[in-house]
Amino acid sequence: MPTITVKLDKARAARLGVRENVDFLGELPHDLLPQVYRSALFCVQASWHEAQGMAVLEAAACGVPVVTTRVGNMPELIRDGDNGFFVERDASDIAAKLARLRDVDLRTRLGRAARASVEAWDWKRQAARFDTVLRIALQTHGPAQSNASAKVTW
């Protein structure tokens, strides 16, 4: 499938007649991100490829409902219709999901569920899970055979 990239800049937004509906914030200091996320009605990330999806995790942590594609770790985080929505990379599908988010009660419910769902993604919890996986692998398969010696300190 070919990759289609559309860059929305101020001039293009003006030509499309949506300039007054789009805020171009530019680069923001990290400490302002929670405030910016919380001011959003929803977060849309319709990527072809995504590894971690930090913007989605950050938005969800701020209680913002998420509309995203089934890429990267999104299927592990989003439960369609419970804490966000999955979409195809199709404008009509995205528009349909965004139209549903006009419902304030639905937006609120999804946002609260999104916030609750990211609790398991806390970095300390993730590190503990990774540590458990490594310990099980070592117990099951023993240390890897190598000419190099390494010490890992957690």
What are the structure tokens assigned to 58, written together? Answer: 């950050």
- pLDDT tens-digit profile of 89-132? 888 999 999 999 999 999 999 999 999 998 877 778 878 888 88
Residue 144: per-residue pLDDT: 65
Minimum mean pLDDT range among 16-20, 100-104, 121-125, 134-138: 121-125
Write out the CATH class of domain 10-141.
Answer: alpha beta
Instruction: Provide CB contacts within 8 A for 143, sequence distance 6+.
Output: none
How many whole angstroms separate alpha carbon 47 and alpha carbon 64? 18
Specify the pTM. Answer: 0.71
Convert the pLDDT of each residue in 28-52 to its tens digit: 899 999 999 999 999 998 888 876 7
Question: Taking the alpha carbons of 136, 139, 140, 143 in that order, is the dihedral positive or negative?
Answer: positive
**pLDDT confidence band for 17 (50 / 70 / 90):** confident
Distance CA 128, CA 5 (A): 38
3-state secondary structure of 136: helix
Where do the domains of the chain lie? 10-141
